[in-house]
Amino acid sequence: MNNLNEKEKMLSGELYDANDAALVEERQRSKDLCFRYNQTQPSKMKERKGIIKTLFGKTEKMFLIEQPFYCDYGYNIEIGENFYTNVNVVILDCAKVTFGDNVFIAPNCGFYTVNHPLDVETRNKGLEYAKPITVGNNVWIGAGCSILPGVTIGDNVVIGAGSVVVKDIPSNVLAVGNPCKVIKEI
């Protein structure tokens, strides 16, 4: 018998109830921190950095996340050194989202770990599952990209603008499109 609570199920990739009171409370905390972050004057860099350090599971020294920024939980996000996101980035971090060093993300990108069952009855019960996303070192993700659950992007990769990444991308390539495909080695 499964004795995991809903958060443990979420973190282990099992079906879980997103309407669980503890998860709703954790998302509310994250939304409050995102609101505070997005309302902080852009020139107040020390305050902005402190909010992100409170929100994220792991940060390094050098990072910049332009406003607005949104996430589900925050504690499942880990960023490496020299991390940058432009405006309007969304990270739905129901599972771990890990970024390496020297990752640059253009505007309007989304990282979505959560997925919903195809079966309508299960889906309508509010059940969902999440798979981690991993982004390697020295990665540039162009504007308007969507990175979907369970994807790993290797090192030294460029993902072209508007791409929808539905499967793993190996290291040292340029990949573009919907679905995103490798078009050349770099």
Query: In sequence order, what are the residues at sequence separation of 6 or more whose Cβ sits closer than 8 angstroms to the Cβ of residue 126?
Result: 17, 18, 19
Distance CA 80, CA 167 (A): 22
Backbone region of residue 131 per phi and psi (left: phi > 0; alpha: psi in -120 to 50; beta: other values): beta
3-state secondary structure of 9: helix
User: Which is catalytic among the residues 7, 27, 116, 181?
Assistant: 116
What SS3 class is residue 91? Answer: strand
Question: Known catalytic residue: 116?
Answer: yes
Report the alpha-carbon angle 80-94-162, nearest 5.
Answer: 70
The three-class DSSP label of residue 77 is strand
Given a contact cutoff of 8 angstroms between Cβ atoms, the answer to whether 121 and 127 are in contact is no
- Evaluate the omega torsion of the peptide bond into residue 132 and state whether it is cis, within 30 degrees of 0: no
Catalytic positions, written as ranges: 116
